[in-house]
């Protein structure tokens, strides 16, 4: 089975929904996570703080440079993710549709690169 990243894109500048709506989304994500686990597709998942909390590390001319804040200025940013196992892209897309419904945000699907055989 291949592994896929289901990346949740969030607009952190948008006004958050009312608390009741957030609680419904949290419950829906918990149910989705339980479904992933029971199916055997679960590998790992996590939510992220806004990109304003990020530190970007880069090397230039042999020196390490760190800067606070996001790498790029965009409206939508990575807000969380799931790493899943799925037999193929179509299956991963089905999981992403369920995840998008649960978290009420767009979900990008990307396959992991295959590891080279030793």
- Tens-digit pLDDT profile for residues 13-72: 788 889 999 999 999 999 999 999 999 999 999 998 888 888 889 999 999 999 887 666
Q: Which residues contact 69 (CB under 8 A, 6 or more apart)?
A: 51, 52, 54, 56
C-alpha 104/C-alpha 77 separation (Å) is: 14
Chain centroid offset of residue 103 CA:
10
Predicted confidence (pLDDT) at residue 99 exceeds the cutoff of 70: yes
CB 105 within 8 A of CB 8: yes
CB 11 within 8 A of CB 75: yes
Q: What is the domain partition of the chain in residue ranges?
A: 2-111
Going by C-alpha positions, the residue among 32, 31, 44 that lies closest to residue 83 is 44
| Residues listed for the chain | 118
Query: What is the CATH code for 2-111?
Result: 3.30.70.1060
Quote the Cα angle for 2-117-111, to 5°: 25
pTM for this predicted structure: 0.82
Q: Please give the pLDDT value at position 54.
A: 86
């Amino acid at each position: 089975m291949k592994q896929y990243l289901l990346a949740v894109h969030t607009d952190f500048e948008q006004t958050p929904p009312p608390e009741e709506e957030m609680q419904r989304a949290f419950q829906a994500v918990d149910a989705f996570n339980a479904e992933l686990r029971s199916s055997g597709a679960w590998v790992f998942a996590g939510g992220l703080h806004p990109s304003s909390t990020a530190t970007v590390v880069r090397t230039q001319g042999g020196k390490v440079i760190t800067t606070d804040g996001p790498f790029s200025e965009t409206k939508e940013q990575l807000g969380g993710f799931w790493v899943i196992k799925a037999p193929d892209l179509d299956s991963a897309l089905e999981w992403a549709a369920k995840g998008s419904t649960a978290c009420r945000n767009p979900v990008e699907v990307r396959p992991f690169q295959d590891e080279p055989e030793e």
